Amino acid sequence: MTDAPAPGFEAEGVPISLVGETTPLASDLGPGEVSSGELPVASSSAPETPGPVLASPQPEQPKSFIQRTLPWFKKVGSVLERLSVAGVFIFLLRKSWMRWPDPFIDFPRDLYIAWRISVGDALYNLNSYHGTGHTVASWYGPLAHLVEAAGFRIFGVGMDTVVWMNVALSVVVLLFLRGIFGAIGNRLSVWLCSMTFLLVFFVGHLVGIGNYNFITPYVAQTTYGFAGLLLLLWALLGHLRSDWGWWLWLAGVGLGVAYLDKPEPLLAAGGALGVYGALRLLQRFRQVTPGGGWRGAFKLLWTSTTWVAIGFLAAWVPVFVYFLIKGGMGYALRATNWVIYTMMAGTYLKTVANSTLYASLYGFDRPLQNFLIHLQVGALLLLICGLMVGASRAWARAQKFSFWWWFGPVVLLMAGGLGAWLGEHLDNWMGIGMAFNFSLTFLVVILVGWCAWAAWRDDADFERALGLTVVGTAALLMLVRMILFGRIFQYGFFMAPLAALFIIHLVVYEGARTAEGQRRRNWLLPVVFGAITLYSGLAVTGVSLQRYAQKTYAVGTGRDRFYTFQPQPPKAEPGVIYAEQGLILETMLEEAHKNLPKVRTLVAFPESAAVNYHLRVPSPVPEVEFHPTGLGFVGPQQVADAIKANPPDAVFLYMRDMREFGVLYFGYDEGSGKAILDWLAANYVAMWNAGPHSQFLNNDSRYPLTPTGDAIDLLVPNPALAPSASAPLPTPDQLLKNINLK
């Protein structure tokens, strides 16, 4: 048993204060006195060493007016920044409301597919499907279709349901973009990136066709897949800051969303995740503190892969279970992995290789010329940005009234003006996307090298370098389909935003960072480049709003009503007459409501989805697009055989210029549906026609496209070919009544 410590002492002999006692300060004691609770120390002959002299506390200096109000101004600025972004978002929605879609092309296909799934049809026309219902064909991944079908089941079938769902998705996309660039930038770069996204990409309408926007995209998988990619990037940047495992789980969910939608976001997400993982492993392997080396790298690989895989399965498994219940194991495996399945089968690549439209859209029609143009424009962008960054940095380092203090802003403004002039003359701002491909490739290669070097040396710059590298890699990979035809319209509305915003961030934030030797903050570069960026965005918005203002012709009824271009007089030359598409669709709908109120099945050629959806009448075949590209995915003869096996009760045929597909009109040759057109001519008769020219009243399936516009025919089965052909032929009214029995 040990003795207890004396009162006022711990076991080690360190003095402590008793409860309720106070120890006088040394300054309050007289010479030779010892404070209570302390032992007297024997004097030593050695001279005392004076202790450090503590500085007496200085009275607090009063804050200046700027110091007192600066926090308030920062809060107000943050609120105003958010309000300005929200205001532009609402303004653009208001000005373009229900004017986004094209009457026939692309977006109606998604509406039709979602409607058919919501009433029980199965997605994808696969031989492995063993269900009892009909199937509806699609070229893209399943997730977006299933989500929109769920929206129809919950909120009712209507175009406005999909519109509001996509408005909500656009808010999510905007928040992810702000989170990503907020993690690697500052408030100014976040605001400029937000404004650029809204002004240029959100509801852009730079060509005659709608659909190239985030509200009624030409295919829903573009925006859903893009949102999955952004979720992955946001989660990786979060994991870079905190190493929290759930960040990797979220990254896995984002990867799963991209996997279930479209190849381009999947490629970008996989590339960004691979670069992030490889560089983190390199940094962990080179780490000299405990937890590094081979063992630390292997542990990091195992735990990270596990978290990502669990997140991926969280997105993948529900879709797989849905298809498993719907049609069996083989069907579920193919349908859930549709994106990879179609790429491995080579169907998509074969169609692209044989398509005149895709050859021009991808720039393969003039590959060398397109490559050189993109290389030149990309070099110009790098030169202009380099001049602006260099001139502004020279100004920030220069003494007052020196050469660069005067000349730096001049060079900066001249370079910025040159960039604005070049952009304005690149096909009315639409071709500016050509500048992204090779300039971004150059920048990403530098970033990857910098990040790998920082990881190898375990530098403090590693996190900053890795964040930039991951975002830059994803932005570059999103441009793969645009490498020979860069643009901010059409496919570019979802492929180009990340690249454009990343370049803006590099100039405005990274280019203006404080460097050693600067005499003043480099505010000149963000101000000038930001002004040019806003000018460019407003120019694009002006073009889009002008087109939206011209869309005043109402099509459809109730929740499906939208607005398109007013019909124009027929042109003297044949061409793609987009302004007449709304009139054609509305005429077909009115005629069908008048004469075919209860028709069971119907097909419209060459694009059927809009008519089927607005009439709520299904097609007897899974396919609903019969232009050369649509037929190429399945095969023209296979589609013809399916129509022969399931003849529709009525057919609409409308003529339009199809030279974008390399043919004059539907049925021009075998690849554009000649077998279908020949069979219709032999088995159907025209009961109604709109326009001065009819294809079938002349009994001529090769009737050419006329310069007066599109002709519309309503076809019904030829009564002479019915089983009771010996009976008297029914009149047209009797025939229509027979069709309306069920």
130 vs 576, more confident: 130
Average pLDDT for the chain:
79
How much is the pLDDT for 349? Answer: 67
The Cα–Cα gap between 208 and 580 comes to 11
How much is the pLDDT for 257? Answer: 97
Q: Is residue 582 part of a domain?
A: yes
Q: Kind of pairing, strands 122-123 and 135-136?
A: parallel
The Cα–Cα gap between 163 and 216 comes to 7
Q: What is the pLDDT of residues 582-628, one digit of tens each?
A: 888 888 898 888 888 778 999 998 889 999 999 999 999 988 888 88
How much is the pLDDT for 732? Answer: 39
Q: Is residue 336 part of a domain?
A: no
How much is the pLDDT for 568? Answer: 65
The Cα–Cα gap between 231 and 179 comes to 10
C-beta neighbour count of 523 within 10 angstroms:
12
Assess whether pLDDT exceeds 70 at residue 452. Answer: yes
How much is the pLDDT for 154? Answer: 95
454 vs 574, more confident: 454
557 vs 37, more confident: 557
Q: Is residue 119 part of a domain?
A: no
Spatial contact of 479 and 500, defined as CB atoms under 8 Å apart: no
CA distances from 691 to 346, 674, 700 (A): 42, 22, 16
How much is the pLDDT for 401? Answer: 73
Q: Is residue 587 part of a domain?
A: yes
Q: Kind of pairing, strands 602-605 and 562-565?
A: unpaired
Q: How sure is the predictor about 250, in pLDDT bands with cuts at 50, 70 and 90?
A: very high
Q: What is the pLDDT of residues 453-485, one digit of tens each?
A: 887 777 777 888 889 999 999 998 998 888 878
The Cα–Cα gap between 616 and 602 comes to 10
The Cα–Cα gap between 258 and 267 comes to 9
Over range 635-644, report the average pLDDT: 86
The Cα–Cα gap between 3 and 26 comes to 31
Q: How sure is the predictor about 8, in pLDDT bands with cuts at 50, 70 and 90?
A: very low
Q: Is residue 614 part of a domain?
A: yes
Query: In angstroms, how far is CA 657 from the centroid of its own chain?
Result: 30
User: Given the structure tokens 């960004």, which residue do they identify?
Assistant: 272
Among positive and negative, which fits the CA dihedral 109, 110, 112, 116? positive
Spatial contact of 98 and 563, defined as CB atoms under 8 Å apart: yes
Domain count, the chain: 1
Q: What is the pLDDT of residues 368-400, one digit of tens each?
A: 888 888 888 888 888 888 888 888 888 888 877
Q: Which pair of structure tokens corresponds to residue 688?
A: 């109604």
With residue 552 as reference, give the H or E element that holds it.
Answer: strand 551-555
How much is the pLDDT for 175? Answer: 96
Residue at 161: amino acid letter:
T
pTM over 0.95: no
Helix axes 143-155, 107-118, angle to 10 degrees: 60
Q: Is residue 724 part of a domain?
A: yes
Q: Is residue 376 part of a domain?
A: no
Residue at 306: amino acid letter:
T
Q: What is the pLDDT of residues 136-176, one digit of tens each?
A: 988 899 999 999 999 999 999 999 999 999 999 999 999 99
Q: Please give the residue range of the domain that contains residue 719.
A: 567-739
Q: What is the pLDDT of residues 260-292, one digit of tens each?
A: 999 999 999 999 999 999 988 888 888 777 777
674 vs 689, more confident: 674
How much is the pLDDT for 265? Answer: 94
Lowest pLDDT segment from 242-246, 334-338, 593-597: 593-597
Q: Is residue 262 part of a domain?
A: no
The Cα–Cα gap between 427 and 464 comes to 36
